[in-house]
Amino acid sequence: MHKSDLNSFAKIENLNRNDTISTFFSDDFENNSISGWKQTADWEVSAAEKISGTVSLKHSTLAASGNSAIFHTANSDLNSSDIEWSFTLKNGNWDPSSANRFWFYLCADTIQTDLISGWAVGINLSGSSDLLELWRIRNGKADSLIVQSDLDWNASTLATITAKRAVRGVWTLNYHKSGEAKSKTFTGNDPFATAFKNIGIYFNFTPTRAGQLWIDDISVVQLATELFIQKLTLIDSKTLTLTFNKPINPSSIRSQNFKLTDETGENIPINQAMATKGSDKSIDVSFGKTSGIELSLSVSGISDLSWKIMNPDTKTFSYAFTPEVGSILINEVLFNPFSGGTDFVELVNVSEQAIPVSRLRLSTRDDALALKQIYPISAEKRYLKPGEFLVCTKDPTIVASQYITNNPVSFCAMKSFPSYSDDFGTVVLLNDSLEILDEFSYSAKMHSPFLANEEGVSLERISLEKPTNEPTNWASAASSVGFATPGLPNSQAGSETKIQDEITPEPKAFSPNDDGYNDELTIKFKLSKPGYIANVRIFDSVGRQVRFLIKNQSLAQEGNWLWDGRDESGQKLTIGVYIILVEVFDQGGQTKAFKKTCTLTDRLE
């Protein structure tokens, strides 16, 4: 069969598959002419060692050493359709090297080789590899490797090469080497796309290699564009929209064609899938509740209007939303740190969705109440889940070292941190649109009057339901927890349910004999509200005070104290019954007293 008959057969086969729309360029050189080609001085149509048919395009033996290139116009746009290039290439009895190399320009914006930007496939484009590769070219140089095959091009290699680019940015490189039964295919991605004007062949050679390169059966065709997802848009917490590159067959839209999972692989139910109102290229997918952050949507079975089904695709996206007013609150502020310490601001997510930390800003106000020192909290890909705390500070290590009640996982190191006065100031939380999410104007006068020293004591929010700037909604962190609770629930946080006061010594009998069993007495407390000041004293059975255990300690709503069975001088007390007197009072003068008993004994058998 003649070569032209083979080409006709291939084109008919493609048309029957509804793949080929049109042919941009085709040349098998059987007309013995290279008219229409540019820069032809170093090239000829020759029957000598032809690839197929009667002739092939061949490099001339008369060409001087250096660089030879030949181009032909072939206009198209990578943004508008899928394109496929095919050609057959052969070299003589020589191995490629950095001085003897060749490639085919799939797309070239100019025919000046030192200025070309586009894409090329060939050997040694970068000067360091004999593998068949596809590169993006920028300003005449190999810039980005897109696809690398396993074909190590040697002497006298003959191969048919096919490159394809889909509109969605997927490149496919296929080769069929002469003498091998099967072809091989490799893929890569490059979303960049542009229109192109030229195709061409480039040969860098030494004198002995002149005339030792052949090419034939060149074609560039436009293919029917595959149906693919162009964009995934998260509409709200229960709906996303998929936008495709062309109209969708409505009958192919079924819920079972979609599978949604979170980062742990847990399935999220698909409630409904339907065509977007007013669009023939979009699908709205509604789904169930999830606590995931990174979700993956797998899509298959969707077809275009010609019933051609899309290749299965998976899109991963962040299940996070732009922070809105009231979605995240200021929860704790340390503005007067210990000597050598550092300020911190604790935030809490009170919404039902994860919040991207990269979209948050901390700021303060100047004397004219204008915003100043607006700093991003973090540029990292990090999310604050519902109910989680975020401790913003310049140096998390210092904060963690100064407070016994801390959760370093919640810390976030800021490159720049606003300056907050030790006396009074304003903490402002914004999103990346500089919309104010929450704001707290603080003063040192908001601290408990019972504090001997305010240094190192944070102000904690009492209720997330009450306004941020209500002064009575803030209190000094309890001394019983170390004067701050970075990354953990506030010691002064009020309970929404009514709590009865409880003082509970455990165990009822303890034996401080260092045997590792019940060596200490734990005095647990649970009070109706936080903020009480406590005194705890221990008496013997005849009423003599033997230990002043706790003196004027500010309390959280719940906590405990430990007694080791020793008196004020550190001596072990004798076996017997002891009385625990707990007295608490608040800033309003309200007082409460609780009397409990315990037994100090030796080892219990």
CA dihedral 15, 18, 23, 26 (to 10 degrees): -50
Q: Which tens digits make up the pLDDT trace of 320-368? A: 888 999 999 999 999 999 999 999 999 999 998 889 999 999 999 999 9
Q: What's the rounded mean pLDDT across residues 166-193? A: 93
pLDDT at residue 189 greater than cutoff 60: yes
* Co-location of 286 and 381 in the same domain: no
pLDDT at residue 244 greater than cutoff 90: yes
* Co-location of 52 and 94 in the same domain: yes
Q: What's the rounded mean pLDDT across residues 430-444? A: 96
CA dihedral 41, 45, 47, 49 (to 10 degrees): 60
Q: Which tens digits make up the pLDDT trace of 115-134? A: 999 999 999 999 889 999 99
Q: CA–CA separation, 494 vs 501, rounded Å?
A: 14
The average confidence (pLDDT) of the chain is 91
* Co-location of 265 and 387 in the same domain: no
Q: What's the rounded mean pLDDT across residues 257-265? A: 95
* Co-location of 578 and 548 in the same domain: yes
Residue 13: the pLDDT is 34
The pLDDT-based confidence of 7 (bands split at 50, 70, 90) is: very low
Q: What is the CATH number of the domain that holds 437?
A: 2.60.40.1260
pLDDT at residue 414 greater than cutoff 50: yes
* Co-location of 219 and 246 in the same domain: no
Residue 603: the pLDDT is 64
Which of 77-81, 235-239, 505-509 shows the lowest per-residue confidence on average (mean pLDDT)? Answer: 77-81
* Co-location of 431 and 353 in the same domain: yes
* Co-location of 270 and 358 in the same domain: no
Residue 4: the pLDDT is 42
pLDDT at residue 590 greater than cutoff 90: no
Residue 462: the pLDDT is 92
Q: Which of 578, 550, 583 is nearest to 565 (CA)?
A: 578
Q: What is the CATH number of the domain that holds 123?
A: 2.60.120.200
The DSSP code sequence of 206-232 is -GGGTT-EEEEEEEEEEEPPPP-EEEE
Q: CA–CA separation, 93 vs 377, rounded Å?
A: 63
Give the percent of the chain with pLDDT over 70.
95
Give me 154's structure tokens. 């040697």
* Co-location of 194 and 243 in the same domain: no
Q: Is 444 helix (H, G, I), strand (E, B) or coil?
A: helix
Among residues 223, 250, 279, the one where a domain terminates is 223
Q: What is the CATH number of the domain that holds 552?
A: 2.60.40.4070
The pLDDT-based confidence of 604 (bands split at 50, 70, 90) is: very low
The pLDDT-based confidence of 479 (bands split at 50, 70, 90) is: confident
Tell me whether residue 443 is in a domain. Answer: yes
Tell me whether residue 18 is in a domain. Answer: yes
* Co-location of 404 and 543 in the same domain: no
Q: What's the rounded mean pLDDT across residues 501-529? A: 91
Residue-number span of the structural domain to which 519 is assigned:
502-600
The pLDDT-based confidence of 108 (bands split at 50, 70, 90) is: very high
The pLDDT-based confidence of 5 (bands split at 50, 70, 90) is: very low
Residue 20: the pLDDT is 62
Tell me whether residue 73 is in a domain. Answer: yes
> DSSP state, 306?
T
Q: CA–CA separation, 212 vs 198, rounded Å?
A: 24
Half-sphere exposure in the Cβ direction for 100 (13 Å, CA): 18
Which of 358-367, 415-424, 546-555 shows the lowest per-residue confidence on average (mean pLDDT)? Answer: 546-555
Residue 74 phi/psi, 5-degree rounding, is -155, 95
Q: What's the rounded mean pLDDT across residues 542-548? A: 91
* Co-location of 144 and 201 in the same domain: yes
pLDDT at residue 15 greater than cutoff 70: no
Q: Which of 583, 564, 581, 565 is nearest to 573 (CA)?
A: 565
Tell me whether residue 183 is in a domain. Answer: yes
Among residues 318, 352, 381, the one where a domain terminates is 318
Tell me whether residue 449 is in a domain. Answer: yes
Residue 224: the pLDDT is 83
Residue 65: the pLDDT is 86
Sign of CA dihedral 112, 118, 123, 128: positive
Give the percent of the chain with pLDDT over 90.
77
* Co-location of 191 and 49 in the same domain: yes
* Co-location of 9 and 158 in the same domain: yes
Residue 196: the pLDDT is 87
pTM of the model: 0.59
pLDDT at residue 6 greater than cutoff 50: no
Q: Are 473 and 467 in contact (CB under 8 A)?
A: yes
Residue 161: count other Cβ atoms within 10 Å of its Cβ. Answer: 23
Q: Which tens digits make up the pLDDT trace of 371-404? A: 999 999 999 989 998 999 999 999 999 999 999 8
Tell me whether residue 391 is in a domain. Answer: yes
Tell me whether residue 477 is in a domain. Answer: yes
If one counts the domains in the chain, the total is 4
Tell me whether residue 495 is in a domain. Answer: no
Q: Is 592 helix (H, G, I), strand (E, B) or coil?
A: strand
